[in-house]
Amino acid sequence: MNMTPKEIVEYLDKYVISQKNAKKTIALALRTRYRRMQLDDEMRQEIKPKNILMIGSTGVGKTEISRRLAKMMKVPFIKVEASKYTEVGFVGRDVESMIRDLVVNSLAIVKAEKEEANKEKIENYIINRITEKLVPPLPAGVSESKKDDYQRLLEATEKRVESGEMDDKVIEIELESSGTIEFNDTNLPPEMAKVQESFSKVFSTLNKEDKKKEVTVKDAKVLLRQEASSKLLDMNSLTAEALRRAENGGIIFLDEIDKIALSEKSQGRNDPSKEGVQRDLLPIVEGSSVSTKYGTINTDHILFIAAGAFHVSKPSDLIPELQGRFPLRVELEALTEETLYKILTQTENSLLKQYEALLSVEGMELVFEEEAVRAIAQLSHRANETAEDIGARRLHTVLERILEDISFNADEYKGETFVVTKELVHEKLDEVVEDDDLSRYIL
């Protein structure tokens, strides 16, 4: 979390073109989390997160920003769709399950960190268990010289197992039963989850036999890792740390929030549970205690970033109480022709680079002329203006149409260079873009 706002924006610039206001607002919100954690307890409790509402058409970068934030940060982060939740009493997921998802995510982060910190101990445990199977123990009463020989053999085998020389050898291992079956259905109330785990404990006591499996040494290294972690790590302290992190540093990206708004245009067609979902969200976003199977978590300091296209509805169609819980509003700009060109040429692992890499597998080299790239951006922008505006996603459909035949016949171009020219782009797209009906169905 110790990244300055400028560093956060710089990172996002590699993957999301333009949208400076959205990046700046999110960078400040993340930095504020870090600043708050440096304060004393009394002041820290007073500072509430300023939740963000991102408004913008589909394909302008809202979801991409969330994806990149998740990769960048080492804090508990989940992305959920508001449209998959229903009011309590309807069939579906209740809004509290997003908090349980956040705790599960937080636990995974903490566990991964502790495993990394104890990597050497875990590796030693795995190597020792495998070596015991490869070199049976000596019988009692053997001479000292035999013991010395055995010790040397043991050390030599350990080195061979560690280096991977023995990976293909088959051994029989016993996997110790953990005693319970892990239930990670976060939609279940914690009480129900605990009842299920109690049943699993009862059934596990009826069948205490260790599971014997014949596997290769390579597979044994993977199978024994879970056992090593559970033996060497203190799960109680891991859980406490995960809850603390989720409470103080957790971020929930709530996508498609416009889908639960009640617009005047389609009042009759709306699901009656939509307003109920908004009401259920209120206490979660404002701050309340939610029970999880790992313990109770307070949501006062969780940061919520909501996003929606608001094509049919408006932010004002959300109930006033929910609007008030998202004080920071950011409007994302529609994509221009120049922006689409930059998305194709300046982003890390852009679509052009992806297609070049994919076709290199077939032994051919794909090259895009500068004028061809300009034409792709121009025609994509025109298609967005004449048909439904789907933002940068239009580039996927346009490129697929241009490269479909080339990709299909890639084996014929093995060892050759194929240049995508401006003429080819216009040949494939002009007719479709100009014809409104065709572009609606094809692009």
Domain count, the chain: 3
**198 pLDDT higher than 80:** no
pLDDT band per the 50, 70, 90 thresholds, residue 48: confident
The percentage of residues in the chain with a pLDDT greater than 90, rounded to a whole number, is 20
- The residue from 331, 361, 377 where one domain ends is 331
Q: Which residue type sits at 195?
A: V
pLDDT band per the 50, 70, 90 thresholds, residue 180: very low
pLDDT band per the 50, 70, 90 thresholds, residue 139: confident
pTM, rounded to two decimals: 0.78
**208 pLDDT higher than 50:** no
CB 128 within 8 A of CB 93: no
What are the start-end ranges of the E strands in 41-150?
52-55, 77-81
Can you spell out the DSSP letters for 348-379?
TT-HHHHHHHHHHTTT-EEEE-HHHHHHHHHH
Distance in angstroms (rounded) separating the CA atoms of residues 382 and 401: 16
Same structural domain, 318 and 350: no
In-domain check, residue 356:
yes
Q: Which residue type sits at 187?
A: N
Can you give the CATH number for the domain in which 379 is found? 1.10.8.60
In-domain check, residue 433:
no
Same structural domain, 126 and 21: no
- What pLDDT was estimated at residue 357? 93
**129 pLDDT higher than 90:** no
Report residue 330 as tokens: 């950011």
Q: Which residue type sits at 275?
A: E
Same structural domain, 422 and 342: yes
Place of tokens 């197992």: 161
Domain extent, residue 185, equals 119-232
Across the range 108-119, mean pLDDT stands at 89
Q: Are strands 303-308 and 52-55 parallel, antiparallel or unpaired?
A: parallel
Same structural domain, 350 and 320: no
Same structural domain, 102 and 133: no
- What pLDDT was estimated at residue 367? 92
In-domain check, residue 299:
yes
- What pLDDT was estimated at residue 338? 92
In-domain check, residue 437:
no
The percentage of residues in the chain with a pLDDT greater than 70, rounded to a whole number, is 86
Q: In terms of Cα–Cα distance, which of 353, 337, 342, 435 is closest to 389?
A: 337
- What pLDDT was estimated at residue 179? 44
| pLDDT tens sequence across 251-262 | 999 988 988 887
**243 pLDDT higher than 90:** yes
Around Cβ 433, how many Cβ atoms within 10 Å?
Answer: 23
In-domain check, residue 434:
no
| pLDDT tens sequence across 55-92 | 988 888 888 888 888 778 778 889 888 888 887 766 66
Distance in angstroms (rounded) separating the CA atoms of residues 362 and 411: 6
- The residue from 199, 232, 265 where one domain ends is 232
How does DSSP classify residue 130?
H
**20 pLDDT higher than 60:** yes
**439 pLDDT higher than 80:** no
Give CA 422 to chain center in angstroms: 37
* Relative orientation angle of helices 119-134 and 144-163, to the nearest 10 degrees: 120
Report residue 257 as tokens: 């929030």
- The residue from 331, 352, 379 where one domain ends is 331
How does DSSP classify residue 90?
B
